[in-house]
């Protein structure tokens, strides 16, 4: 029995030695359609977990900021266009419901960055669904970029480093461009 253990121990230490000399495996390559490196994708997926646990408050903050900077967009929302003050907006059940829906879409999108086919299909569909909104302009998608980044910063607090911010900027830009592609495709199919 003692003999078997020593053989096992010596074979184990030999294997460890071999493992130490071989370089670590390269991070798995990301889909070329994704404008993030494997490390950036890992970083956003890791930090997003905290946002994902606070979708509704993050979303409400995002929409309050959106309407502060773009009051005219409030008219697009029949359910809460009458909420003119920040206080009314931040306590509105209708706004909270919509904010959660939008954040759930972003949540699905960000969690889906591992599978570009599913991600693109899903975000294209969401973009296309906005063609049903009377008077919706594709440029409106860009108006959520800054409020989104501010909301994520508030939610992540000190975890929102310059590096994390740069990755979120790339990610939201990619999501918005994908929404617009879906919107444009649906518009051209309608025409």
Any domain includes 98: yes
Q: Which two tokens stand for residue 50?
A: 């905290």
Contact 169, 40 (CB under 8 A): no
Classify residue 50: in a domain, yes or no: yes
Q: Is residue 97 part of a domain?
A: yes
Per-residue pLDDT 10s for the chain (191 aa) are 555 555 555 554 444 544 455 555 555 678 999 999 999 999 999 999 999 999 999 999 999 999 999 999 999 998 999 999 999 999 999 999 999 999 999 999 999 999 999 999 999 999 999 999 999 999 999 999 999 999 999 999 999 999 999 999 999 999 999 999 999 999 999 98
What pLDDT shows up at residue 29?
Answer: 72
Asked if residue 179 belongs to a domain, the reply is yes
- Please check whether residue 92 lies inside any domain of the structure: yes
Nearest to 135 by CA among 180, 181, 84, 75: 75
Q: Which domain holds residue 49?
A: 38-190
Q: Assess if residue 28 is contained within a domain.
A: no
The C-alpha angle with vertex 134 and arms to 107 and 97, in degrees rounded to 5, equals 35
Rg, C-alpha atoms of the chain: 23
Is there a domain that residue 114 lies in?
yes
Whether 178 maps to a domain, the answer reads: yes
The encoded tokens of residue 89 equal 């907006």
CATH label of the domain that carries residue 46: 1.10.490.10
Domain count, the chain: 1
Using CA atoms, how far residue 129 sits from 20, 26, 61, 171, 183, in Å, is: 53, 39, 23, 21, 7
């Amino acid at each position: 029995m003692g003999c078997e253990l020593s053989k096992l121990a010596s074979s184990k230490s030999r294997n460890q030695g071999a493992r130490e000399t071989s370089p670590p495996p390269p991070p798995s390559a990301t889909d070329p359609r994704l404008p993030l490196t494997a490390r950036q994708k890992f970083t956003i997926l890791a930090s997003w977990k905290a946002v994902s646990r606070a979708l509704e408050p993050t979303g409400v903050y995002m929409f309050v900021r959106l309407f502060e900077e773009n009051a005219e967009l409030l008219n697009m929302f029949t359910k809460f266009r009458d909420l003119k003050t920040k206080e009314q907006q931040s306590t509105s059940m209708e706004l909270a419901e919509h904010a959660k829906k939008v954040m759930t879409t972003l949540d699905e999108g960000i969690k889906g960055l591992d599978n570009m086919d599913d991600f693109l299909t899903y975000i294209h569909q969401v973009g296309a669904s906005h063609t049903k909104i009377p008077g919706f302009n594709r440029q409106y998608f860009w108006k959520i970029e800054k409020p989104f980044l501010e909301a994520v910063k508030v939610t992540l607090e000190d975890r929102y480093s310059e590096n994390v911010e740069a990755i979120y900027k790339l990610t939201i830009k990619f999501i918005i461009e994908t929404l617009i592609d879906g919107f444009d495709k649906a518009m051209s199919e309608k025409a």
